Structure 1
Amino acid sequence: MMALLQGRVAVISGASSGIGRAIAQRYAAEGATVTIADTAEGPLEGGVSTAEVIAREGGQAWFVRTDISDEDSVNHLVDAVVTRHGRLDVLVNNAAIYTSTNLTETSLEQWRRVIDVNLTGFFLCARRAVAQMRDQEPVDDIRGRIINISSQHGMIACPGDFPYGVTKGAIVQMTRQIAVDHAADGIVCNAVAPGKIITGKPGVANDPDALDYSRRRTPWPRLGKPSDVAGAALFLASDMANYITGINLMVDGGWMAG
């Protein structure tokens, strides 16, 4: 049976760690050539780089240092990918930051930085990707796919993190807009909205009280893993999802259904 992404060229932002790392590994295992776009090559969880893990598993991956909030950096990324591989089939917008501050606690500097990465960064990457995809030959009527990693906090409030929640809500609308505006170009755009995912990254996400609340709030008898999100991102990048565009696919163990 042919791998689901055999011969595809994929770029994944924020793929050195966490969910992006899991998506990169899954794509490579399914035959994609993966570009890891991140500000640092080493994973926040510790250990070897994503590219090295993929190489050990027999896949193809390379790292391009990228600040998605910087237009020149994004242009360099896509130019490097196209020069090396000839095309760009899948963009996964995943890189994101947060402040853990509510409205009155958030400084203007914090607000601008989160907007720059979580929203402007997705815009810059998607805009450059669409420009490339429109000019390349389609594969089964699809010229390219964009997958935005949103969040359940794009659908409901993110308590105590005003900038993050606002950007994730905007990403859901960005996804719909790209899907509608560029369907005629043969470009598919969808989002994946994780619920509570345990990534191993240090910080507020692993606060014991927050984890306890998430366990009680999630109907499924465990919290999510990065591989759960990677499975959804794989589906949306594959030919199984050719007629699916503009959706925000929840991966939350039933949180939003409860």
Structure 2
Amino acid sequence: MRLKDRVALVTGGASGIGRAIAARFVAEGAIVVIADVTTVVREGGQPTHEWLGIEHVQTDVSVEAECEAAVARVVARHGRLDVLVNDAAITLGKPLLDCSREEWDRVLAVNLTGCFLMSRAAVRAMLAQAPRGEVRGRIVNISSQHGMVASPGDIAYGTSKAGVAYLTRQVAVDYAAQGIVCNAVAPGKILTGKTGRAIDPAMIAYSEARTPWPRLGRPEDVAGAALFLASDDAMYVTGENLMVDGGWMAY
């Protein structure tokens, strides 16, 4: 029960990694609210909020007003916000010359600007609340190994995740003195139930060749790392980008 009575908001919590994080946080005693544009579970199954008996807030993280409203709703309902997980993201799967300006803008709007908007709203709320011990609030961003090495044929996604890693460090440094902890988890290839390019045999073969561990990742692998960074076990860890990649970046 490492998150007993902590209030957590998880964006992109309807499916995949976000769903696994929400489930793990609930199991560890947290009061969890998920924010997503949909309640449909990409990998199938009962909607996450129904499955876990938690609240779902309809939120497009690229829209400033919706980000502000999601945080305000959590604080109004539960009195505080202890943990924000920025998981909401989209992919495109196009190289430079095939990527339109509109497609570029949309990926950056969700993956990077959404992280900025949600973090800004959360930090404002966290600074207004009493600390628990030394910490007023924690942010866990979901970045990617493709924010540090090229994402083959997916320029917008890789660029957005590089921005998330930088934003993580900046927020951590700027607000450490006020008790805000900000870290990121950088997953490798995680099998989340996505279809299309994500499970294209060539892409799976590429990921398997790059991953020393004898399997690809599961959402639960990322959830465990997010739990660590959201808990008091990570008391002197901030500004870090924790790899959960089966050794991808060590290869």
SS in 2 for 1:175: helix
Report the CA distance between 1:242 and its aligned residue: 1.2
Report the CA distance between 1:216 and its aligned residue: 2.1
SS in 1 for 2:138: strand
Corresponding residue of 2:120 = 127
Corresponding residue of 2:139 = 146
Paired-residue identity, %: 60
Corresponding residue of 1:186 = 179
Q: Are 1:161 and 2:159 matched, yes or no?
A: no
Question: Distance between the aligned counterparts of 1:30 and 1:207, measured in 2?
Answer: 35
AA at the equivalent of 1:16 = A
Report the CA distance between 1:98 and its aligned residue: 1.3
AA at the equivalent of 1:115 = L
Corresponding residue of 1:96 = 89
SS in 1 for 2:177: coil
What whole-Å deviation, never above 9, does each CA across 1:3-25 have from its counterpart, x for those lacking one? 00000000000000000000000
Corresponding residue of 1:58 = none
Corresponding residue of 1:49 = 47
AA at the equivalent of 1:142 = V
Report the CA distance between 1:210 and its aligned residue: 1.1
Corresponding residue of 2:10 = 12
Question: Distance between the aligned counterparts of 1:206 and 1:160, measured in 2?
Answer: 15
Corresponding residue of 1:22 = 20
AA at the equivalent of 1:212 = A
Question: Distance between the aligned counterparts of 2:196 and 2:137, measured in 1?
Answer: 35
Alignment counterpart, residue 38 of structure 1, candidates 32, 36, 39: 36
Corresponding residue of 2:76 = 83
Query: Could you list the runs of 5+ residues in structure 1 that have no partner in the other structure?
Result: 56-60
Contact kept? 1:45, 1:202, Cα under 8 Å: no
Question: Distance between the aligned counterparts of 2:142 and 2:201, measured in 1?
Answer: 25
What whole-Å deviation, never above 9, does each CA across 1:52-78 have from its counterpart, x for those lacking one? 2213xxxxx210000000011111101
Report the CA distance between 1:203 and its aligned residue: 2.0
Alignment counterpart, residue 205 of structure 2, candidates 196, 212, 231: 212
Question: Distance between the aligned counterparts of 1:11 and 1:63, measured in 2?
Answer: 10
Alignment counterpart, residue 241 of structure 1, candidates 234, 238, 251: 234
AA at the equivalent of 1:156 = V
Question: Distance between the aligned counterparts of 1:223 and 1:98, measured in 2?
Answer: 19
SS in 2 for 1:192: strand
AA at the equivalent of 2:20 = A
SS in 2 for 1:148: strand
Corresponding residue of 1:74 = 67
Runs of at least 4 residues of structure 1 off by over 3 A? Answer: none
AA at the equivalent of 2:224 = G
Report the CA distance between 1:131 and its aligned residue: 0.3
Paired positions, count: 251
Query: Could you list the runs of 5+ residues in structure 2 that have no partner in the other structure?
Result: none
AA at the equivalent of 1:41 = T
Contact kept? 1:190, 1:236, Cα under 8 Å: yes
Report the CA distance between 1:84 and its aligned residue: 0.5
Q: Are 1:225 and 2:218 matched, yes or no?
A: yes
Corresponding residue of 1:252 = 245
Report the CA distance between 1:150 and its aligned residue: 0.1
AA at the equivalent of 2:166 = Q
TM-score, with length taken from structure 2: 0.99
Corresponding residue of 2:163 = 170
Q: Are 1:112 and 2:110 matched, yes or no?
A: no
Question: Distance between the aligned counterparts of 1:82 and 1:203, measured in 2?
Answer: 38
AA at the equivalent of 2:59 = T
